[in-house]
Structure 1
C-alpha cells in the first residue's frame, strides 16, 4: 500500500511534474507512478530511460514516493497492433486517443487502486466538472494546449477518479512554477511523436512493421507524376516527402496528397492546398462514445474538431440508432478530413464524446470507395 490518496502519472515531463507539485502543496497525500509502455527497439529516440530518471528526480525533489509499472505488453496489444492494422488498411489512426483510454485511464488507474489510492492525476490540459449528477470533461483554460480531443473516450468511472491539476493554468505559468521550485524538468522540451514511442523517423519506424511497397503517384485524372514508397506512409493533406516539382505540363504550385487507392497501391496527388479533392462537408463515423453515457439527442447541433488544435466547426450530428454511428454535416467545407482520425464533439466548453471517422463525402474518396465496392 502506498498510503497516497492520489497517484500522479509521472512522465518525466514538466506538466506531470507541476501537477504533482500542485497536489503536494494542496496537502493531498500523493505518490508518483512511472509507466514503461514501450520496449525500446533501437530504431529511434525512445527516451524512456531519460524520462524515468527525470521522474525519479522530480519525486525526490518533491519528497514523494514513486512506483514503477511495465505496461509494454498491454500497450502492444491494446494500442500498437491496432495502430499498425489501421495504417495497413490505408487509414491514419490516432494512437494518443487509444493510449489514453487503454493505458493511462485503464491500466494506470487499476494500478493506482491496487496501491490503495482513490484517484489518479495527470499533467493533461483539461478539467473535470459536474452537472446534474454527471461528470463532465471540460476544456482547459489554455486553449492552445487543451487536450480534451485526445481524452474524449473517457467515461463516468474514469472522470470520477481523475484530477487534472493543470486545467486552469497557462503553459507559461506551468514552466514558471517549475523554475521557481527548482524542478529538474523546468526547461525540458515537450514530448512529441507517437504516444510513448517518441520522436523518430516515422517512415523508417513504420517500415519495420509495414514493408515498403512502391507504386505510382497519379493525379486525380489518372496521369502518372511520380512514384511513392508506400501509400501507408502518407496522410491526406500531406505536402512533405512527395519530392514532386518542376514537372513538364504542370505549374509550380506545391503538391498535396488528396487520396489513397490502397487496392491498386496508388497515391493520388493534386496541386494547391485548396484542392477540391480535399474538401468535404459530411462525414460518417464508427460507433460513437459518449462521456455522459448517451447522446444529448438523436439529432442535435454542436461544434466539432476533426483534428487536434483545429478551430471548432459548427455542425449538425445525426445518430444511427441501430449502429450508434454518426453522420456529421458541417456548416462550412472542411479540409483533409481523414478516415482513422477522430471527430470530437463539443457543447461550449464541455466535450460530449466522439468517434473514429469512417468516410467523408470528399469527391475523390467517394469515387475510390465506389470503385472498390
Structure 2
C-alpha cells in the first residue's frame, strides 16, 4: 500500500472506532467516516438510539475535520442477519448475530459501499490484527487479550482482509480511552456497547416474543418428572440458570437448576441440578457453514485450539475431519454447554484460522438417545 491510503472508517459513535480513525489520520492517511443505520424497528433512547450514536460520530468527525457519510443498511440487516437469527431460534438453536453482522454487513455491505465512494479500504474499531505475509492475509488475536475480538471475525476471508484494517489491534483499551480524551472526543468515557449487534441491550424474552410466538410447555428432569412450565424452548439456551422459576422442586436439594437439553419437536425443556452436570458436558462437536481465513481448509487431523463462545479460554482439540461443509472436532477435555447455533472458532497459537456454526455435539453421557435431547 502507498504511505497515504484512503480509508472509510466505520464510526459507531463509540470510543473504539473514533480512535481507529484518529490513529489512521495521525499516520498520514486520507480518512472519511461512515455511520451505519442498521435497525429501525424501535430505535429509542431506552435501547439503541441511532440518533445519539450519530451525534457522537459527528462530534468525532468535526474534531478530526473529516467528512461523515450516513448509510442505511436496515433492509440488509433485517434480511441477512435478523431473519436468519429468528429461523435459528425457532429451530431451538442459539445464534450469534454479532458474527453474522460482521460477515454480511460490516465486511460486505460496508465494503461495497466504500467502493462506491471510490475507495477499496475500510477500517473498524475491532480489537484484532490483520497481517499480510507474502501476499496472504492472516488474522491474529489482539495484543489486549481481554478485548480481543478475533472470535467475531473468523468469517473474513482474503477478499475482506485485503480491504480491511484494525488500527486498535496493537493497543490496550486503557490506551484507547486515554487517546480519545486527549483528542477531545466526547465519547472518551462512554460505556462499551453490549447486547445484540445494532439492536442493543434488551430484556431478551419479551423482545424475542414480539417475533416468535410463545409456546408454553413442560420443564422436565432427564427422568421425565415435570418440575415447571417454560414459555417456549426458543427462549432458552443450554447452560442457562436464570429465568427458569422452578426453585428446588421434584424432591431435590435446593441447588440451582440448569437447562441441559431442548427437545424442540416435543416442546420440552430438560433441566438438571449441578453446574457441571454430565448432560451439559460434550467431548466434541460437528460444525457447518465453514469459513477459512486462508480461503481453503487446513489438512486434517489438525491439532489446534478452539473457542465455542467469546469469553471462553482457548481449548486444546483435534479437528479430525473436514468435508466440503462439515468439521468434526474432539476436545482434549470435555467442554461445558457447547451450544448449537453458536460458533466454534479455531486457532493455531495466536492466529485465527477459521471456524463454523455448531450443529451438534458429542455428549459426555448416555442419555441423549433415550431422552431425545439435542
Q: Normalising by structure 1, report the TM-score.
A: 0.95
2:204 counterpart (202, 205, 208): 202
Rounded to whole Å, the distance in 2 between the matches of 1:369 and 1:104 is 43
Q: Is the 8 A contact 2:219 2:230 kept in 1?
A: yes
2:7 is matched with 6
1:153 counterpart (152, 155, 159): 155
CA distances 1:109-141 after superposition (whole Å, capped 9, x unpaired) = 111111111300000000111234310011100
Question: How far 1:268 moved relative to its partner?
Answer: 0.6
2:361 is matched with 360
2:235 is matched with 233
CA 1:372–1:198: 2 relative to 1, 3 Å: closer
CA distances 1:39-62 after superposition (whole Å, capped 9, x unpaired) = 132685122111011111111111
Unpaired runs of 5+ residues, structure 1, are none
Secondary structure of the 1:17 match is: helix
User: Counterparts of 1:1-373 in structure 2 under 5 Å?
Assistant: 5-41=6-42, 45-247=47-249, 249-321=251-323, 323-362=324-363, 367=368, 371=372
Rounded to whole Å, the distance in 2 between the matches of 1:147 and 1:371 is 35
Unpaired runs of 5+ residues, structure 2, are none
Q: Structure 1 residues 105-114 or 40-49, which shifts more?
A: 40-49
Aligned pair count reads 370
CA 1:308–1:23: 2 relative to 1, 3 Å: same
Question: How far 1:224 moved relative to its partner?
Answer: 0.7
Rounded to whole Å, the distance in 2 between the matches of 1:315 and 1:349 is 15
Secondary structure of the 1:105 match is: helix
Question: How far 1:369 moved relative to its partner?
Answer: 9.1
CA distances 1:322-363 after superposition (whole Å, capped 9, x unpaired) = x33100000001000000000000011111000000100125
Rounded to whole Å, the distance in 1 between the matches of 2:186 and 2:68 is 16
Q: Is the 8 A contact 1:89 1:262 kept in 2?
A: yes
Secondary structure of the 1:361 match is: strand
CA 1:217–1:371: 2 relative to 1, 3 Å: closer
Question: How far 1:372 moved relative to its partner?
Answer: 8.5
Q: Is the 8 A contact 1:4 1:116 kept in 2?
A: no
Q: Is the 8 A contact 2:281 2:363 kept in 1?
A: yes
Rounded to whole Å, the distance in 2 between the matches of 1:281 and 1:173 is 39
Q: Is the 8 A contact 1:261 1:368 kept in 2?
A: no
CA 1:126–1:139: 2 relative to 1, 3 Å: same
Rounded to whole Å, the distance in 1 between the matches of 2:5 and 2:41 is 31
Secondary structure of the 1:294 match is: coil
Rounded to whole Å, the distance in 1 between the matches of 2:275 and 2:335 is 12
Aligned CA RMSD, in angstroms, stands at: 1.8
CA 1:146–1:98: 2 relative to 1, 3 Å: same
Q: Normalising by structure 2, report the TM-score.
A: 0.95
Rounded to whole Å, the distance in 2 between the matches of 1:7 and 1:18 is 14
Rounded to whole Å, the distance in 1 between the matches of 2:305 and 2:28 is 38
